[in-house]
Structure 1
Amino acid sequence: MNLHHLFATAEAGSVRYALSGAGGGFARTLLAQTLRIPALRPAVLCDRDLPRLRAMLGELGYDTTRLADCADAAEVGRAARDGHIALVADGALLGAADWDILVEATGSPVHGYAMAKDALLAGRHVAMVSKEVDSVAGLHLAELAAQSGLVYTTADGDQPANLIGLVTWAEVLGLDIVAIGKSSEYDLVLDPESGTVTQLDTTVEAPGLAALLDLGDGVPATLAARAETVSALPVGATADYCEMAVVATNTGFMPDTELLHYPVARIAELADIYRLREDGGVLHKAGAVDVFSALRLPGEASFAGGVFVVVRTGDPETWETLRGKGHVVSQDGKYAAVYLPYHLMGVETPVSLLSAVLHKRPSGGADPRGHAVLAGRARRDLPAGTVLDMGGHHHDVTGVQAVLLRDEDTPADIAPLYLAAHTTLARPVAAGELIRLDDLADADAGLAQAWAAGRTARPAVTA
């Protein structure tokens, strides 16, 4: 598709956006790219640390004389009338400026939901970057948007929107999709000479892994052996589960297992690994969403947290031709993998904003449903009074293992993980038990209502 044709009518400054969590990493990538796109401009930016935000904008090349720190609605309105960018610390002030779409990037379930809801009720579109918000309140926000003819969408540049786009592309082409997913955020880089594996800034001994670079015919056995050699490294980031929950609600693909498979895999092996079990792969059934840990050698290209689909090949001759051109086809010729080895964060998000405002088309699914739930199991016995703090690496909830449950396996009283985050337990939860709504003493009432309303308004559609 030629995107110049798609957005040919966009005039300078025709799409104005508000941005919450404006001092964060994702926001920076969007703000940097905005400077290169005449049709797009920020109207109001919200962050708790305005001095840091102002300094960042200066580094990016924004005219600091046209940045206005605003403490109330009148100041926001005045900044907008003067053509300045309003900077606010209070999300309640976002609505005082005139703009078309909110980019919600706080990562805060409570505050992000409140700002997104206010935007929709005021007749403005929402691009949801905060997967934590989406995993709890996304269905309700989508329903609010639908009722008012507005767009509520995931944002290009994050894996959920990119994967949804790849899935819909494959579906339009009539490809028979068996599995979809992404790589985990950080590759496993094997140094065969030293016998070590490095993940981001952590290096561990993995003396047997070099001998396991060939997947062989016994796929499950090889994957189990690889997993054992890298067991000192963490597997299963909470952020991955959250992103796949968002994908599930927007596509209907569901987890094959609640912890996902997380195979340690080379890119060329994806079509062999994500086969059905009767064909030698890991899948119990077709229609799975999953995550893999990308294994590579130093100097080899990264999957870069990108996304993939695995399809049944159909005509053997067609796919043997494609195998010859370097495409990833399984050893038996029955499956193939198609992938996008990138996600560029806010660098890609302008496409979502232009599409939503100019054409009222979402980057995400058009009809999200409650196909899967991001929930939590206690990692250890959690006594009453435990505070489920959220923090650490990739938004883990202290003492809780993220799990992704298929809709049919989800108890009616389940507490979604990011509703439970930051709450206090009203009663003890034993190790291995799911956290339920009644376990929470002080869950945010608005977020809890949004969760219930979304599940009621947009239940999963069974075939």
Structure 2
Amino acid sequence: MNLHALLARRHGAGNPVRVGLIGAGKFGSMFLAQVPTMAGLEIVAIADLDPERARTACHTVGWDETRLRQTRFYDSGSRLISEMTPEVVIEATGHPAAGITHALGAIAAGCHVVMVNVEADVLAGAALAQKAREAGVVYSMAYGDQPALVCEMVDWARAAGFTVTAAGKGTKYLPAFHASTPETVWQHYGLTPDEAQAAGMNPQMFNSFLDGTKSAIEMAAIANGTGLTAPDDGLLFPPCGVDDLPHILRASNNGGCLPADGMVEVVSSLERDGRSVFRDLRWGVYVVIKASNPYTSACFRQYGLKTDASGLYAAMYKPYHLIGLELGISVLSAALRHEPTGATRFYAGDCVAVAKRPLAVGEALDGEGGFTVWGKCITARRSTALQALPIGLAHGIHLKRPVPAGAIISETDVELDESRLDVRTRRLHTALIA
């Protein structure tokens, strides 16, 4: 509640929070748009594979020439860290291997890390968080993105003495979307390929949102940040509007759809026949809570909460999330409070690669949102038992045995180089919180 006051104090002392941004895509650009109105915070450097694209992004979001001249631009995140050593490094590349490299470099340099890159966090977040603790710096999820927002809601509920029955987000989902590819994605968004290209929209990234992979990654992150249970064999994506959250998001033995209480889940904004759900939560996040006694249940009713028929279950939700526009909360929390806005603490869930079609020996996997695999959220226990290939490693590696459509790909099915930094960090991640 006092971040703005703490920032004003730093501004008054002439000691601004120095920030380095790695990755000037949509999320990073949304944060850059807010920077001119955040007195006491300075972007000292931006790294992007295309520095000119980063400069253009700064122009697009309204930066003036003075601010641009005061900012260094790099084509390497590692160089940004070593040459500038900012107080906080934001990793927003979306590439898991790059995210791990940058996070480890920033931690070694004594920088706090805000990990927008959920792919890297789900792949190896426990190891990165452990390294940060040892170095005395903060490793944090990114506020504005759903995992950090949901972790905050779960923490609020538990701190207030409620039992959390379910938590998650909304999205647009139909079962057929799992087979979507970068060639078919735009028809589901009502766009032509030419319109999408003109708008600068990346088909593989948008396909990850559609085919269920991004939802699976985010739910695994929430499970690992809160200790909530992940589904054993994938998210159910039940159609559900905000008024029905406490009815549907509870255990099946109490009339809901979940195998048990205390789970992560994504609700769909579409009925299975394609009709829109009434009062959907497509852009929002939620937590379902359970009253501990009849008095609390009566209070739910008295203060207008939507409950299930028993009155014991109620839901709180945010209808929207503002993505990079809210990222400053994480940056300031790390720098001024030395607290993360959510971080991996458990190994409860994993996001594993599933074959979109029959895959042959020698084929190269193309990762999140591509033509070959989609990501499924399952329990860490099951992932370990199957030696499942995490989606974060399923890019640019070749199959050494065929995999049928719909099967979870095992690490034994692929040629995996154990000497790679991302693979070694993944091994540390699973060892630390197994």
Do both share a fold (TM > 0.5)? Answer: yes
* Corresponding position of 1:344: 322
Contact 2:366 2:373 in 1 (8 A): no
- For 2:384, the aligned partner's letter is P
Deviation sequence 1:303-346 (CA, Å, 0-9, x none): 35221111112344544453354422112212111112221111
Contact 2:230 2:348 in 1 (8 A): no
Q: Does residue 311 of the first structure (1) align with residue 298 of the second (2)?
A: no
Q: Does residue 97 of the first structure (1) align with residue 72 of the second (2)?
A: no
Mapped partners of 1:114, 1:27: distance in 2:
18
- For 2:381, the aligned partner's letter is E
Contact 1:274 1:283 in 2 (8 A): yes
Structure 1 window deviating more from structure 2 (331-340 vs 125-134): it is: 331-340
* Secondary structure, counterpart of 1:402 in structure 2: strand
Contact 1:13 1:39 in 2 (8 A): yes
User: Residues 97 and 309 from structure 1, CA distance in 2 versus in 1: closer, same or farther, beyond 3 angstroms?
Assistant: same
* Corresponding position of 2:183: none
Contact 1:381 1:429 in 2 (8 A): yes
Q: Does residue 362 of the first structure (1) align with residue 335 of the second (2)?
A: no
* Corresponding position of 1:9: 9
Deviation at 1:141, TM superposition (A): 0.8
With normalisation by structure 2, the TM-score equals 0.84
Q: Does residue 422 of the first structure (1) align with residue 400 of the second (2)?
A: no
- For 2:214, the aligned partner's letter is A
Deviation at 1:42, TM superposition (A): 0.6
Structure 1 window deviating more from structure 2 (137-146 vs 7-16): it is: 7-16
Mapped partners of 1:376, 1:98: distance in 2:
36
Deviation at 1:426, TM superposition (A): 2.6
Q: Does residue 385 of the first structure (1) align with residue 362 of the second (2)?
A: yes
* Corresponding position of 2:405: 431
Matches within 5 A, 1:196-345: 200-201=189-190, 237-294=212-269, 303-316=281-294, 318-323=296-301, 325-345=303-323
- Greater helix percent: which structure? 2
Mapped partners of 2:306, 2:327: distance in 1:
29
Counterpart selection for 2:382 from 402, 409, 421: 409
- For 2:305, the aligned partner's letter is H
Deviation sequence 1:197-239 (CA, Å, 0-9, x none): x97538xxxxxxxxxxxxxxxxxxxxxxxxxxxxxxx975210
* Corresponding position of 1:372: 349
Contact 1:306 1:340 in 2 (8 A): yes
Mapped partners of 1:183, 1:383: distance in 2:
35
Deviation at 1:275, TM superposition (A): 2.1
* Secondary structure, counterpart of 1:353 in structure 2: helix
Q: Does residue 136 of the first structure (1) align with residue 123 of the second (2)?
A: yes
In terms of Rg, which structure is larger? Answer: 1
- For 1:382, the aligned partner's letter is L
- For 1:201, the aligned partner's letter is G
Deviation at 1:5, TM superposition (A): 4.7
Contact 2:211 2:374 in 1 (8 A): no
Contact 1:374 1:402 in 2 (8 A): yes
RMSD: 2.6
Deviation at 1:300, TM superposition (A): 7.9
Deviation sequence 1:8-56 (CA, Å, 0-9, x none): 533255211111111x110111000111101111111011222222122
Give the count of matched residue pairs.
397
Deviation sequence 1:367-392 (CA, Å, 0-9, x none): 612111111222332111111113xx
Deviation at 1:298, TM superposition (A): 8.8
Deviation sequence 1:388-429 (CA, Å, 0-9, x none): 113xxxx42432232112122223532211112222223322
Could you tell me the percent identity over the aligned residues? Answer: 33
User: Residues 426 and 157 from structure 1, CA distance in 2 versus in 1: closer, same or farther, beyond 3 angstroms?
Assistant: same
Q: Which runs of 5+ in 2 are unaligned?
A: 175-186, 192-208
Deviation at 1:245, TM superposition (A): 0.9
Q: Which runs of 5+ in 1 are unaligned?
A: 69-83, 188-197, 203-233
Contact 2:143 2:323 in 1 (8 A): yes
Deviation at 1:176, TM superposition (A): 1.1
Mapped partners of 1:161, 1:289: distance in 2:
13
Deviation at 1:94, TM superposition (A): 0.9
Counterpart selection for 2:71 from 85, 100, 103: 85
Contact 1:236 1:262 in 2 (8 A): no
- For 2:78, the aligned partner's letter is A
Mapped partners of 1:407, 1:98: distance in 2:
35
Structure 1 window deviating more from structure 2 (235-244 vs 112-121): it is: 235-244
- For 2:190, the aligned partner's letter is D
Contact 2:358 2:405 in 1 (8 A): yes
Mapped partners of 1:166, 1:20: distance in 2:
28
User: Residues 3 and 54 from structure 1, CA distance in 2 versus in 1: closer, same or farther, beyond 3 angstroms?
Assistant: closer
- For 2:99, the aligned partner's letter is G
Deviation at 1:353, TM superposition (A): 0.7
Mapped partners of 1:314, 1:99: distance in 2:
46
* Corresponding position of 2:204: none
Contact 1:241 1:403 in 2 (8 A): yes
Contact 1:127 1:352 in 2 (8 A): yes
Mapped partners of 1:44, 1:185: distance in 2:
36
Mapped partners of 1:273, 1:6: distance in 2:
41
Contact 2:286 2:317 in 1 (8 A): yes
Structure 1 window deviating more from structure 2 (325-334 vs 246-255): it is: 325-334
Deviation at 1:92, TM superposition (A): 2.6
Mapped partners of 1:454, 1:302: distance in 2:
36
